[in-house]
Amino acid sequence: MLSTAFSERCCNYVVTSISRYNGLKKISGGEILPLSDSACKAAKAQPKAYRLTDGHGLYLLVQPNGSKLWQLIYRFQGSKQRTLSMGKYPIVSLADAREIRTKALNGLAHGRDPAEAKKGVVPDGATFEHVASEWHAVWKVGKTAAHAERVWARLKRDGFTEIGSKDIRSITSADILRMVRKVEARGNIDTSKRLKSDVSNVFQFAIPDGKASIDPTHGLNRALKAKPKVRHHAALSPAGLGELTLQIDHYDGETVTRLGLQFTLLTAVRTKETRFMRWEEIDGAMWRIPPERMKMKRPHIVPLSKQALEVLAEVRKLSRGDLVFSTDDTAMSENTMLFALYRMGYHGKQTVHGLRTLFSTIANEKGWNADWIEMQLAHDEEDDSREAYNAAEYLPGRTEMLQWWADYVDGERYKAVIG
């Protein structure tokens, strides 16, 4: 049954004078006795049509020919009494009819006419495209114009053609998956993941003010096609992460080398970026890498987890110059960390660059935002122009993600210790 509180909220909409209808039963105190399925089955045709009432405007109309129809009576914004037909019993069960009634009353409480909703008429401002435009107007503030335009073009091309005209509340996970599948079918796996992320952002924007109640993109990661793997750098499977962290922790070579490996694992940066890291680039809990040291020649910001900051505090005691991972202010050799992994027994199994692969694989498997992951890895595969890149983009989300990653690494280390 609908809750008393919900009924009271909808009392301005539902016809309350239903006690005059035939077939109405009451229990002590005047409360309407809900129908049972057995009562619906047992209802026999009579010379005149009559109604078996379930409450809150819902009744079963039994016609002289024996046909049984579900109907709902209501008023919309002060209008005359209206009737919503809901289908034949038993094709539409009692439970189905009650669920339809609940949705209809919920729509009324939010200013939507159930009859119009049934016809597929979407209220102004409720389509996915309209809400997406509102989200984009807010989201693009602080973004580069080129990047904002690229995201909007992706939604227009691949999103709005499929779900743009739909009521945002009616969009299901299946709708999103069909949309993404069409992009995957073109071979654009990266674009399909970005599109799913864009759509998720729209729903996350819509939920707080009641324009949507859920994000139907959640749980779709396992249903999406994986990006074809190009294994240039050896990397362990996620199951090997715990043992790897223990091997690094107990490395018997140079302490700076061990700390460099730990820091690289925690930040998912390239080997070169760790080797040439300078103290002046650290800004509180952020590491600001200048463009000349990045592969894509763009500035990059790396959020530093608590564990990464602890590594820096330890290496600070050993550092003797501007370079972080150096005891004599000369850069660590290109292969120092790689050869350390070889000494641990990982030759052909794990490279330093492969630590990035481990992070990417696990973060994607755990459902983190694909754009956050790609930005953290300093990838920008869709558009290589400087104007489309914003080093601070997704920074709050990436900060949360890297702290999660550091905690996850600690957890895998603990599992390896206890066996």
Please tell me the distance from the alpha carbon of residue 90 to that of residue 416, in angstroms, as a whole number: 58
What's the Rg (C-alpha) of the chain?
30
**Residues 260 and 399 occupy one common structural domain:** yes
Please tell me the distance from the alpha carbon of residue 276 to that of residue 221, in angstroms, as a whole number: 36
Identify whether 295 is a catalytic site residue: yes
- Is residue 225 one of the residues assigned to a domain? no
Catalytic option among 182, 353, 386, 413: 353
Identify whether 353 is a catalytic site residue: yes
Catalytic option among 295, 316, 343, 415: 295
**Residues 176 and 297 occupy one common structural domain:** no
* pLDDT in the model for residue 14: 41
Identify whether 389 is a catalytic site residue: yes
**Residues 188 and 53 occupy one common structural domain:** no
Identify whether 356 is a catalytic site residue: yes
**Residues 409 and 324 occupy one common structural domain:** yes
- Interaxial angle between packed helices 395-418 and 306-316, expressed in degrees from 0 to 180 and rounded to the nearest 10: 80
* pLDDT in the model for residue 12: 38
Catalytic option among 50, 101, 389, 398: 389
Identify whether 413 is a catalytic site residue: no
**Residues 62 and 94 occupy one common structural domain:** yes
- Is residue 120 one of the residues assigned to a domain? no
Catalytic option among 98, 147, 211, 270: 270
* pLDDT in the model for residue 79: 74
Identify whether 347 is a catalytic site residue: no
**Residues 167 and 302 occupy one common structural domain:** no
* pLDDT in the model for residue 227: 65
Catalytic option among 379, 386, 394, 408: 379
**Residues 192 and 268 occupy one common structural domain:** no
* pLDDT in the model for residue 392: 59
**Residues 250 and 202 occupy one common structural domain:** no
Q: How would you classify the pairing of strands 282-283 and 286-289? A: antiparallel
Catalytic option among 196, 211, 356, 398: 356
* pLDDT in the model for residue 251: 94
Please tell me the distance from the alpha carbon of residue 16 to that of residue 28, in angstroms, as a whole number: 18
In which domain, by residue range, is 356 found?
A: 238-418
**Residues 302 and 340 occupy one common structural domain:** yes
* pLDDT in the model for residue 126: 79
* pLDDT in the model for residue 291: 85
Find the CATH number of the domain harbouring 156: 1.10.150.130
**Residues 261 and 316 occupy one common structural domain:** yes
- Rounded average pLDDT per 10-residue block, the chain, 419 residues: 43 37 41 81 93 91 91 83 85 85 81 66 69 93 84 93 88 91 86 91 89 86 69 76 95 95 96 94 94 81 96 94 91 93 92 92 92 83 39 82 97 90
Number of structural domains in the chain: 3
**Residues 53 and 164 occupy one common structural domain:** no
Find the CATH number of the domain harbouring 321: 1.10.443.10
Residues with Cβ within 8 Å of 359's Cβ and at least 6 positions away in sequence, in order, are 265, 268, 373, 376, 377, 405
